[in-house]
A and B are shown apart, each in its own frame.
Chain A
Amino acid sequence: MNQLGFPILTLMMAVPMAAAIACLYANDRAARSIALIATLIDLALGVVLWLSFDQSANAAQWQFTEYAPLFGRFAWALGIDGIALMLIVLTVFLMPICIGASWVAIDKRVGEYMAAFLLMEVLMIGVFTAQDIFLFYVMFEAGLIPMYLIIGIWGGAERIYASYKFFLYTLLGSVLMLIAMMWMVQEAGSTSIPVLMAYDFPAQAQTWLWLAFFASFAVKMPMWPVHTWLPDAHVQAPTAGSVILAGVLLKMGGYGFIRFSLPMFPEASAQFAPLVFGLSMVAVVYTSLVALVQSDMKKLIAYSSVAHMAIVTVGLFAFNQQGIEGAMMVMLGHGLVSGALFLCVGVIYDRLHTREISRYGGLAINMPKYAVLFLLFTMAAVGLPGTSNFVGEFLALMGVYQASSWVAIVATTGIILGAAYMLYLYRRVAYGELVHDDVRAMPDLSGREMWLLAPIAVAVLWMGIYPESFIAPMRADVASLVARTDRAKPAGDSKLAAGKPGVAAESHSTENHETPGEAH
């Protein structure tokens, strides 16, 4: 049993599951309350989880483990490390906000809607906690069902096309991963993810396995050129659906790279790093330029997500501590910021029922509170120092500079382009004169909307000002991942030579040696 004395991870999945079933039978008002209470309980459990997570130097890598051989060939095996912990915290943090964002916007079939969201939460927590490779797959794929229904039932005009595209695209990406998993399990003789992470697969097989996993995670991330489902899904999904899609579902791809591709196939990862870099460089520049010309707000943010995720992938395949920590921080920061931006779009969409940027303008005049918060999230998306994304992007780019200076240079243009399209968006929406009468009549943020955006604003600033709270739990796990992949690490082109050992470098090297050989 774990340090808490009760199976907290199972409980975190059981609470929303029970609430989801209750919501199916409840009326609209009751369903909203049930969903909110259940997600708040999960948030509280998430805080407990974070506080009781052992971050000391000699802590076990996998904590809160549970094991029950329920399913014959695979088991109900749960457990988290620091990386999973942070993603779980992100999930449980965003979920009550999603429920709140749907409070009035969703007025038909509320019970089913809330049930679908709560089921999503179960599955997302399941993905991040699963320690059995097949349990992971089940959770990973099952998420398609509620998301398909959320987009299809409560989405916009083109929702049916978007829901099909989302479902079939991601399913096609994932099925080959299942074949790869079966092969791995038969080769290694275990379904346990920690065991598989330490197993050395033959380099030749790694190539194929890596490609099978890549197909799945690249679609999920999404990486260019398999990102095309994302703008459609985002634009058509209801606000809360976009928040959860951008906030958490996209992170499953990055989590997959960290949990499977890198530690299980280090040689293949090194072999394919140029491919990942190439696709990511295209994505950063291309999707940023595409974002620049969008006239639909949600589409603009969707394309900016693709660009940000490309910075995550370059960080991950940098094979060093900064790169991977930076990638994780970008994922967390982007989860908050893109979620908040979709909420900001949702706030004005609820008032005017259009996402056309040109229909707005001058909101800073009649919606000052909104304009301030929107500005904060815009700046965070740009990566302004003091906000969450700066930390992650800076670390990731610093990491990738050690691997390839060219990639670092191209990826950095993403920051500049990001500033361009985000500021351009903000100028068109918030500044200028109030020319439209219906826009002039829009009231400022309501109390409920403040409650949705303010917590994210606090978290964004916290992550930007004191990132240590978020990096500390992951440090040892990232270090062991780096140690694991070190044998295959490609030589960088920048040929960095250590200068005079300063304070920073010293503390860095101790980090690396804190947990020697933990991965083996």
Chain B
Amino acid sequence: MIDNASLLMVMPELVLTIGGLVLMMVAAYAGDRTAQLVSWLSVATLLAAGLTLIGLPGHGGIAFDGLYRADAFAAYAKVLIYTAAAASILVAPRFFAPLTTGGVGAVRAEFPILILFSCIGMGMMVSAGDLMTLYVGLELQSLSAYVLASFMRQDTRSAEAGLKYFVLGALASGILLYGISLLYGFSGSTSFEGVAVAMGNGLSNGLMFGMVFVLAGLAFKISAVPFHMWTPDVYEGAPTPVTAFFASAPKVAAIGLTIRVAIEALGPGGMAWQQIVIFVALASILFGAVAAIGQTNIKRLMAYSSINNVGFALIGLACGTPAGVAATMSYMAIYVVMTIGGFVCILQMRDKDGVPVETIASLSGLSQSRKGLAAALAIFMFSLAGIPPLFGFWAKFLVFDAAVGAGLLGLAAFGIAASVIGAFYYLKIIKTMYFDEPAAEYATGTPLLENAIIAVCATIIVLGYLLNPALDSASAAAAAALF
């Protein structure tokens, strides 16, 4: 029987579902003219869903007999997901707007609605208490994402990105499902607790294989090496607001889900999954850093940067300690701010006619033509490189501190040394903007909303240390919910 308490605990998803369905009707009957209105209403829906987290959904506990968890961890991740989703919705209309009056743009009212549905899936992912919920949430998120990636249908790159994402995503889902079936077959339960109990009784070969396949499927979703191949192509091909979305919200959801599976379901497996995570983390850091060096397209570069960052975030998980999980959650929070800020800067890269440009070379001498934009992008790049006193340093600090605390000194030393390689390509962007001679100027125009988002993100990155006590306690509370 469905009890009222359970329904109250899934309130964020309910709000999003009802909001999404109503807005879909609006879009269907009123057409794309209402795109702007639907966008704002979607943001309002996300805000409403976020506000429900203050109540029972933020700390209610177990709902639907263990299928769903409404705890501090889920609430933390949902706040990040909703914020990132809202930012992606807000910057989209200007990007999709027709370039010339009377021209054809891709402004469609479905865009924010797809993001809402994706958010429902992501909410289910981070709240999953059962392998079934996990899979349903993951697929709901992915299906919306496939459509979003190919949102500019006329653009072959976008269509290619969508198709690639879909085919490889389907493969990953298959791997994940196979792993789930093995876990279920050898533990006799789909719930995380059931799997954990079976794991605690000894790691049989079947469980081991199931664990490897599940983690492989999840590694695809977080685009960690060696399951990262889709990332650069999809990030490059997808429309920029969608790329901003892919690089932020689904990352948080997938990392959250991975943490939940690793700690709650596979936890008693101990070292077995830790070794996998350590390998994936180091491989992602190294590959993300080295492969990015030769890139000339800034969206591809950001794709490799996201692979690199996932590696650092996974170092926290590899510790398997509450401090490590808290560090990963803090890392994701700071990462989302840097990524959203960075992508909104990239959105402003348009040539004289307003056509978006994506080459790093076009940033040449930006510091002389667009001082503020260059300064903001430089702040995000130094921050992604982990240079103090910017907030990105604190994110890396936390995960390495957790690794040192867990005794993983080798991992910490290797990871931090590899971060220097990553610094090279972030510096390259700053060098292009500050040291090189000016290239063709960008379209001017001062989109108030985008500038506001950039300003907020840059302020957080520069003055973020003052938020440390709040961030630390929130992350610690989120992590404590899992142990």
Which A residues contact B (CB, under 8 angstroms)? 70-73, 109, 112, 134, 137-139, 141-142, 144-145, 148-149, 152-153, 159-160, 163-164, 167-168, 171-172, 175-176, 178-179, 182-183, 186
Contacts and interface: CB of A to CB of B under 8 A. Distances in A.
Contacts of A168: 420, 423-424, 427
Contacts of B419: 175
Contacts of A137: 388
Contacts of B434: 149, 152-153
A175 B393 CA distance: 11
A237 to B, nearest CB: 13
B435 A160 contact: yes
B420 A142 contact: no
A332 B400 CA distance: 36
Consensus secondary structure, chain B interface: helix
5 contacts: A71-B466, A168-B423, A176-B413, A176-B416, A186-B405
B64 interface: no
Contacts of A148: 427, 430
B468 A71 contact: yes
B424 A172 contact: no
Contacts of A72: 468-469, 471-472
Given A163-B435, A179-B412, 5 more contacts: A72-B471, A73-B468, A142-B389, A164-B427, A168-B420
B409 interface: yes
Contacts, number: 85
Contacts of B96: none
Interface of B: 367-368, 382, 387-389, 393, 397, 400-401, 404-405, 409, 412-413, 416-417, 419-420, 423-424, 427, 430-431, 434-435, 465-466, 468-469, 471-472
Given A160-B435, A171-B420, A186-B404, A178 B397 contact: yes
Contacts of A175: 416-417, 419-420
Interchain residue pairs A-B with the least CB separation, the first 4? A72-B468, A138-B388, A182-B404, A175-B416
Given A152-B435, A178-B416, A183-B404, A141 B388 contact: yes
Contacts of A186: 401, 404-405
A145 B383 CA distance: 11
A141 B383 CA distance: 12
A137 B466 CA distance: 17
B189 to A, nearest CB: 38
Contacts of B401: 73, 182, 186
Nearest to A152: B435
A70 B388 contact: no
B115 to A, nearest CB: 33
A256 to B, nearest CB: 16
Nearest to B385: A171
A73 to B, nearest CB: 7
B424 A164 contact: yes
Nearest to B468: A72
Nearest to A176: B413
A259 to B, nearest CB: 18
Contacts of B416: 175-176, 178-179
Contacts of B405: 182, 186
Contact of B382 (A139, A145, A152): A145
A244 B397 CA distance: 29
Contact of B389 (A138, A163, A167): A138
B417 A172 contact: yes
Given A179-B412, A179-B416, A182-B400, A153 B435 contact: yes
Contact of A183 (B382, B409, B424, B471): B409
B387 A145 contact: yes
A221 to B, nearest CB: 19
A179 B427 contact: no
Given A71-B465, A145-B382, A178 B400 contact: yes
A138 B404 contact: no
Given A71-B466, A163-B435, A171 B388 contact: no
A172 B431 contact: no
B472 A167 contact: no
Contacts of B471: 72
Contacts of B367: 112
B472 A163 contact: no
Contacts of A142: 387-389
A203 to B, nearest CB: 18
A179 B413 contact: yes
A144 B393 CA distance: 13
B77 to A, nearest CB: 21
Given A152-B434, A179-B404, A171 B423 contact: yes
A344 B405 CA distance: 51
A148 B381 CA distance: 14
B450 to A, nearest CB: 21
B410 to A, nearest CB: 10
A54 B431 CA distance: 46
Contacts of A159: 435
A473 to B, nearest CB: 29
Contacts of A149: 434
A186 B423 CA distance: 27
Most chain A CB neighbours (cut-off 10 Å) among B368, B388, B419, B466: B388
B154 to A, nearest CB: 40
Nearest to A173: B420
A70 B466 contact: yes
A141 B387 contact: yes
A163 B431 contact: yes
Nearest to A170: B420
B327 to A, nearest CB: 11
Nearest to B472: A72
Nearest to A182: B404
Nearest to B424: A168
Contacts of B427: 148, 164, 167-168
A111 to B, nearest CB: 10
A152 to B, nearest CB: 4
B463 to A, nearest CB: 11
A122 B477 CA distance: 36
B387 A172 contact: no
B417 A176 contact: yes
A163 B423 CA distance: 13
A64 to B, nearest CB: 22
Nearest to B402: A182
A274 to B, nearest CB: 25
A176 B469 CA distance: 25
Contacts of A178: 397, 400, 416
Contacts of A163: 431, 435
Most chain B CB neighbours (cut-off 10 Å) among A137, A167, A178: A178
Contact of B423 (A138, A139, A152, A167): A167
B482 to A, nearest CB: 21
A176 B368 CA distance: 36
A123 to B, nearest CB: 9
